[in-house]
Structure formats: structure tokens, C-alpha cells
């Protein structure tokens, strides 16, 4: 069966520090991968999605970037965090671009 | 115009009642539709997927899709206190340059009281 791993679960970072969140999927090949952010009391905002290695679409221009160095690995990065980057970051995968997505456990990021 | 809009909450129903959650979407070409449940502090979990017009039932849950009206709904029968959560509607555009983009509504908070 397929599983998704996302870490760390919680993170407290100072303003201006870099960020790297990692997500890996097991048990499937060439998954569709997503990064979402959920600010407190808000809905899920699509940040990036990828249909394959080297194919990453950015949904909203911002202080973040994403990379997919391997088929089942998706990384969210920032060079300098802002206070507004705080939130609940969620990685998700789907078998095809048109089917349901399954979420990791999320990373709660607090920028101080 | 937002991609996905949900009826404003919160919604409060007594145990055993039917809870009705609604969602509209903006892109008429959208192909697939989902309902997720999210407990406080947790990640969303999939409840239902629906791809064609009509009703789809799974246990106490029924999803309804009307593509002509660009409307999706979720009915929860015999609501239980454990159903208390935020329910998220998600829509996948699924075509052309937007293939794979899965958008979520802001969610409707449901409380089922004993």
C-alpha cells in the first residue's frame, strides 16, 4: 500500500532563516505531488504541484520554492522566512492528476 | 471569483439528524470532485470522490454532483458527535494547462451535539 511521509511535524524558525520541508511517497511510481499551506482558520492554499520529475507548477508567487529531485520526493524551500510564512504545511499525492489526493501528517511552522 | 466556495458555517445539528454541506465551483470544465474531513490540528482525510452527475452513497454519506449548476453537496445521515469536524470541498480542474490543480474551499465547520 502507498504511504506518505512528511517531516518534521513541528518547526519554530526565526525570521530570515532558511526552510526545507521534505515529503516522500512510498508504494507508487510517478505520483502527482502537491504542497499546500493552511493559515490559522483558513482553507488550503495550493502552493505547488508536480506531475513528474522536473515538472513543477507554482500557483502563487511568494517566498517559497519547490523541487522534485527524485520521483517520489518533493521538497519545499525558502531562503529567508517571513512572519507571514507561518502556517500548517501539507504535502499530498495522487495516482493521476485527476484523482483523489492523500495527505501527509503536515508540518506546523511558526516563524518568530 | 474563488475557485471553490462553500456555504458559510458553522453548522450545528443534533445527533441523529441529517447534515447538509454545499459547495459551488467556478470552472465549468472541472472533472473531479471530493469531500474531505479535517479534525482540528490534523491533516484532511478523504471521505468521498464523485466524478459524474448524480448521487453517490457510501454508508452514512451521500455526495451529489450537478455539473450544469456547478454544485456539489454532501449529506451526512444519522449524524454522530464524532462527525464534528471541518468539511472541505475540493475540485480538480483536470484538463489542459490546469491539469492536476486541486483547489479547496475554505471549509464548513460542523458540530453535532448529543
Residue B67: left (phi > 0), alpha (psi -120 to 50), or beta?
alpha
Q: Which of A49, A90, A99 sits opposite B43 (nearest CB)?
A: A90
* pLDDT level of residue A13 (50, 70, 90 thresholds): very high
CB distance A100–B107 less than 8 Å?
A: no
Is B101 a residue whose pLDDT tops 90? no
How near does any CA of chain B get to the CA of A27, in Å? Answer: 19
Closest chain B C-alpha to A89 CA, distance in angstroms: 9
Q: Compute the distance between CA of residue A57 and CA of residue B51 in angstroms, rounded to an integer.
A: 24
pLDDT in tens, A49-88: 999 998 898 887 678 999 999 999 999 999 999 999 999 9
A-chain residues within 8 Å CB-CB of B86? Answer: none
pLDDT of residue B2: 79
Beta-bridge partners for A75: A22, A67
User: Is residue B96's pLDDT more than 70?
Assistant: no
Give tens-digit pLDDT for B4-34.
999 778 999 999 999 999 999 998 888 899 9
Amino acid at each position: 500500500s502507498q504511504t506518505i511521509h512528511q517531516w518534521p511535524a513541528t518547526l519554530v524558525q526565526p525570521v530570515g532563516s532558511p526552510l526545507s520541508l521534505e515529503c516522500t511517497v512510498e508504494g507508487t511510481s510517478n505520483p502527482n505531488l502537491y504542497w499546500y499551506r493552511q493559515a490559522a482558520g483558513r482553507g488550503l492554499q495550493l502552493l505547488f504541484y508536480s506531475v513528474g520529475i522536473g515538472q513543477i507548477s507554482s500557483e502563487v508567487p511568494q517566498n517559497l520554492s519547490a523541487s522534485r529531485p527524485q520521483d517520489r520526493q518533493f521538497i519545499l524551500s525558502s531562503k529567508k522566512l517571513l512572519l507571514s510564512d507561518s502556517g500548517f504545511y501539507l504535502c499530498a499525492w495522487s495516482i493521476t492528476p485527476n484523482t483523489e489526493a492523500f495527505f501527509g501528517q503536515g508540518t506546523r511552522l511558526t516563524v518568530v | 471569483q474563488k475557485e471553490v466556495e462553500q456555504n458559510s458555517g458553522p453548522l450545528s445539528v443534533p445527533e441523529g439528524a441529517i447534515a447538509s454541506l454545499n459547495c459551488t465551483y467556478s470552472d465549468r470544465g472541472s472533472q473531479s470532485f471530493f469531500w474531505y474531513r479535517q479534525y482540528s490540528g490534523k491533516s484532511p482525510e478523504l471521505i468521498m470522490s464523485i466524478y459524474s452527475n448524480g448521487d453517490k452513497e457510501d454508508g452514512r454519506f451521500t455526495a451529489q454532483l450537478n455539473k450544469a449548476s456547478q454544485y456539489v453537496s454532501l449529506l451526512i445521515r444519522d449524524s454522530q458527535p464524532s462527525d464534528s469536524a471541518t468539511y472541505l470541498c475540493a475540485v480538480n480542474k483536470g484538463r489542459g494547462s490546469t491539469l492536476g490543480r486541486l483547489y479547496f474551499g475554505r471549509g464548513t465547520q460542523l458540530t453535532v451535539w448529543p
